[in-house]
Structure 1
Amino acid sequence: MHSAPNNKMAAKPVFPLLMSMALPPMLSMLLGSLYNIIDSMFVARYSADALTAVSLAFPLQNFALAVAVGTGVGISSYIARKLGEGDRDAANSAVAHGLLLSLAHYLLFVLLGLFLTKPFLSMFTSSPVILGLGADYLFIVLVGCVGQQVQIAIEKMLQATGNMVWPMLMQALGCVVNIILDPIMIFGLFGFPEMGVRGAALATIIGQLASMALAFFSLFKKEHEVRLDLRRLKFRPAVIGEIYNVGAPTILMNSLGSVLVMGLNSLLMRFSEAAVSVFGIYYKLQTFVFMPVSGMAQGAMPIMGYNYGARSRGRVVACFRDSLIVSAAILAAGNLLFVLLPGPLLALFGAGPEMTSIGVPALRILGCSYLPAALGCCIPTLFQAVGRGRSSLVIFLLRQFAITLPLAWLLAGPMGLEGVWVSFIVAEVAAAAAAALMLAQLFRRDPVLIRGCPTPEKQA
């Protein structure tokens, strides 16, 4: 049975609804991107070795984020579809199951932090200074990531119901705490001991814990369409399976981004440590472009998921179209920023002559990869919203792994570092073409999305 279209997800005009739901996560993720950039700026000013160490630690740190976000996407997609179908009990069941999964994932990262930090980093550097700094940083961010895992799960649960304000406040609080504590704990201000990269890691953990505290406050003290009721919890493997059906491909997608970074770091170390640092700077800067696009996806997915569950084809299509247009505009602006202002962007990180000579052409080439990326970013969101996580995985594999990494190694020989950067453009073009073909196939075969599909109103 479908719920009556008496709420904003079913009745409010699509573009105003999309922007009301997308702007809060876009703003909070922009703030998060600003934190990432400021964090790297402080670390870079502490020492060049510290920046290289944090860059090498990034893949495992990003893996923890990938697991949290991927699981959250699976939870959000499931809740949105069940609410669209009118099955609130199933949606509430996903809340408890999702939190249990988050705690299980946290235990995994405690083990990784205890046993794999030095062996992992030693694959990329023989410098005892860089190895020591990287191990200190990575151990803290992994063993202390419980706040990250739990907060993101609750954030996605609330986003599935159309509530974007509380998730924005959670993320914003963590970012603000991080930004305030970073210089204090890294450089030892106001009576604090100078802690270097350990201070940067601790500031990150404290910010995540602050976000988690606010997330629990919102979940337990405020009224939402879903709630946590452990007294009525019945463990259902089918719910876990549904969450992972969308979440596991998303985890794998984002984790393969870490594999990409590891593979490219290995390649770039053959050129110089400065090349690794430039790539680390780029990865921080590109979040300033792609995080707003991700925020747009966070706003669009519950709308598309709800209306897909309610069999409202027109609203699904309208939401996808509008999110694609806005995302393309953001990526075009990012392209201009990287092409026109690479020097000033690198100067934010105190780049010397060697890093600047590598970084200016790198940012200009990499920025051009943003132009075809809109399709590769937005179409997977539609697939996730309708419960087809494997299709989104295929697109991401093309964008971030299957083409980029082997092509970078192939082109690095004849073209040098420029060949590494060009591989990103080729991968985005290929992924956009494949995504368009898969989208056309979805609209030909999906019983809800086939043109002429009866809406609930027509069925009535």
Structure 2
Amino acid sequence: MSETRVHTKNPLLNTAIAPLLKQLTWPVLGGMLTLMSFNLVDTFFISLLGTAQLAAISFTFPVTFTLISLAIGLSIGTSAVIAKALGAGQADSAKADSIAALWLAAILVCLLAIGIAICLDPLFLLLGATDATLVYIRDYMFIWLAGSVLLVTPMIGNAILRAAGETKIPSLVMAAGGLVNAVLDPLLIFGLGPFPALGMQGAALATVISWLTGFIFILYWLTVRRKLLDRILLPWTLFWSIWRRILHIGMPAAAANMLTPLAMAILTAMIAGYGPEAVAALGVGMRLESIACLVVLALSMTLPPVISQNFGAGLLGRVQQAYFTACHFVLKWQAGVFVLLALLAYPIAALFTQDQQVATYIRYFIWSLPLSYGLQGVIILTNSSFNALHLPAKAMILSLVRFFVCYIPLAWLGAKIAGVPGLFIGAMVGNFLTASLAYYWFKQVIQRYQ
């Protein structure tokens, strides 16, 4: 594909790459920081209920993230399709794509949630949950699953806005939802004031109400303020045509994202052999990871629209520059994050538990895995860039290699050699190997286009 000059006022096509990524990413980062911080508060309040409840919420991560991964994959497909259409100047097509994407996501997430609810007990017993923790898991999961359709609509709506270069509103949606969740958590978990003490059910209910807030806000913004949804339904043939284009990217992206909770499930099952203390520590570590990798996650949302729009306009030099700029930045940023976490390991562990064994495992986690978060960022950005280039199969292969050739086998080997700390170190080495492959592969792919 040859380089094409496009004279347009679209800032995604002509603003200098580094300032553009900064301008798009900071609002997303702010919203995600608020959301993830409140999610960490959620874990903190649940930890006050006891180690069994903390272990229970840790067991739910792989399962809940499976459903979230489907929504993420569909949002990736939505963003790629809409951004390419906008880059090519096809605004009417982008509107139809938006309507079809919202319906597709709602239908698929509802079907998956029903399937998980039906198989709940055997699924969590397979993950290593005991009968004692299963009681708390049921309390949390049935409410969480019932409200899951309220989660997917804001996610797809945010993807639509980001595809158009709008990042402030999606950030406000994330932040507002996180704030509602944080305020309701103590009220509904412990029964403060007129509220009943609902324990794990209260935590799930607070989450669902926060999703409802985002659901109402994003639909209002898409229909009334931005007028991106000018109708409810489309002709069936048009629905199916758009769904096929979204699913072409969205399903491999969703499958690749679902490998993350599958790997987490395997990791959880492996670590469950070391006791509920190790599982509780892993749950805390995964929540810490979501905070520590916020910049990477924010860039993974803002980099794809830049790549897709410039790809649609034929500006491959800007595509390459955007990818390398983002990767080099996250390597430096995450090195600083690791140093900060390593220095604060003792107070962080003490914040989440009074159990000395759990605290020890949390410190093992902090001193190992975050060292590779910069390289993990390279993997994530490469995956999102492949999807933005409409190459979902390559993103899928990269995810398979990461988890099932590097991450899980090396974590297993590390556990055999050195127990829980060895498991964390093995997973870290897996990130190093996969990042090297990802960076080299993207360079080869983009050179073939030029």
Shift of 1:190: 1.4
Which among 330, 334, 337 is matched to residue 333 of structure 2? Answer: 330
Deviations 1:219-255 (A, max 9, x none): 011126x444346545333322221222112211221
Cα distance in 1, alignment partners of residues 305 and 129 from structure 2: 46
TM-score w.r.t. length of structure 1: 0.92
Matched, 1:33 2:11: no
Corresponding letter in the other structure for 1:209: L
Shift of 1:377: 2.3
Distance 1:309 1:351, change over 3 A: farther
Deviations 1:99-153 (A, max 9, x none): 1112212321341353122221222346332110011111111121111111101
Cα distance in 2, alignment partners of residues 2 and 173 from structure 1: 40
Matched, 1:348 2:348: no
Aligned length: 446
Indicate the SS of the match to 2:48.
helix
Distance 1:16 1:126, change over 3 A: closer
Corresponding letter in the other structure for 2:357: E
Distance 1:216 1:381, change over 3 A: same
Which among 73, 82, 98 is matched to residue 79 of structure 1? Answer: 82
Which among 103, 117, 136 is matched to residue 139 of structure 2? Answer: 136
Query: Are the counterparts in 2 of residues 293 and 330 from structure 1 also a CA contact under 8 Å?
Result: no
Matched, 1:166 2:169: yes
Which among 290, 294, 299 is matched to residue 291 of structure 1? Answer: 294
Cα distance in 2, alignment partners of residues 164 and 215 from structure 1: 13
What is the Cα-based RMSD across aligned positions, in Å?
1.9
Cα distance in 1, alignment partners of residues 48 and 54 from structure 2: 8
Deviations 1:73-108 (A, max 9, x none): 100011001111112232122111101112212321
Contiguous gaps of at least 5 residues in structure 2: none
Cα distance in 1, alignment partners of residues 56 and 121 from structure 2: 12
Query: Are the counterparts in 2 of residues 77 and 385 from structure 1 also a CA contact under 8 Å?
Result: yes
Cα distance in 2, alignment partners of residues 110 and 317 from structure 1: 39
Cα distance in 1, alignment partners of residues 290 and 347 from structure 2: 17
Cα distance in 2, alignment partners of residues 178 and 399 from structure 1: 33
Q: Give the aligned partner of residue 457 of structure 1.
A: none
Residues 307-318 of structure 1 mapped to structure 2, 5 A cutoff = 307-318=310-321
Q: Give the aligned partner of residue 458 of structure 1.
A: none
Distance 1:2 1:120, change over 3 A: farther
Indicate the SS of the match to 1:46.
coil
Corresponding letter in the other structure for 1:357: T
Shift of 1:4: 4.2
Q: Give the aligned partner of residue 235 of structure 1.
A: 237
Shift of 1:45: 0.5
Cα distance in 2, alignment partners of residues 275 and 148 from structure 1: 30
Distance 1:211 1:253, change over 3 A: same
Q: Give the aligned partner of residue 455 of structure 1.
A: none
Query: Are the counterparts in 2 of residues 23 and 296 from structure 1 also a CA contact under 8 Å?
Result: no
Matched, 1:155 2:158: yes
Which among 49, 54, 60 is matched to residue 52 of structure 2? Answer: 49
Tell me which moved more, 107-116 or 307-316.
107-116
Q: Give the aligned partner of residue 306 of structure 1.
A: 309
Tell me which moved more, 392-401 or 61-70.
392-401
Residues 1-400 of structure 1 mapped to structure 2, 5 A cutoff = 4-125=7-128, 127-223=130-226, 226-230=228-232, 233-236=235-238, 237-400=240-403
Q: Give the aligned partner of residue 408 of structure 2.
A: 405
Distance 1:47 1:406, change over 3 A: same
Distance 1:9 1:104, change over 3 A: same
Query: Are the counterparts in 2 of residues 289 and 330 from structure 1 also a CA contact under 8 Å?
Result: no
Runs of 4+ in 1 over 6 A off after TM superposition: none
Identity of aligned residues (%): 25
Distance 1:400 1:48, change over 3 A: same
Shift of 1:49: 0.7
Corresponding letter in the other structure for 2:393: R
Indicate the SS of the match to 1:370.
helix
Cα distance in 1, alignment partners of residues 152 and 233 from structure 2: 23
Cα distance in 2, alignment partners of residues 206 and 285 from structure 1: 24
Shift of 1:314: 2.6
Corresponding letter in the other structure for 2:284: I
Query: Are the counterparts in 2 of residues 33 and 287 from structure 1 also a CA contact under 8 Å?
Result: yes
Shift of 1:418: 2.2
Corresponding letter in the other structure for 2:59: L
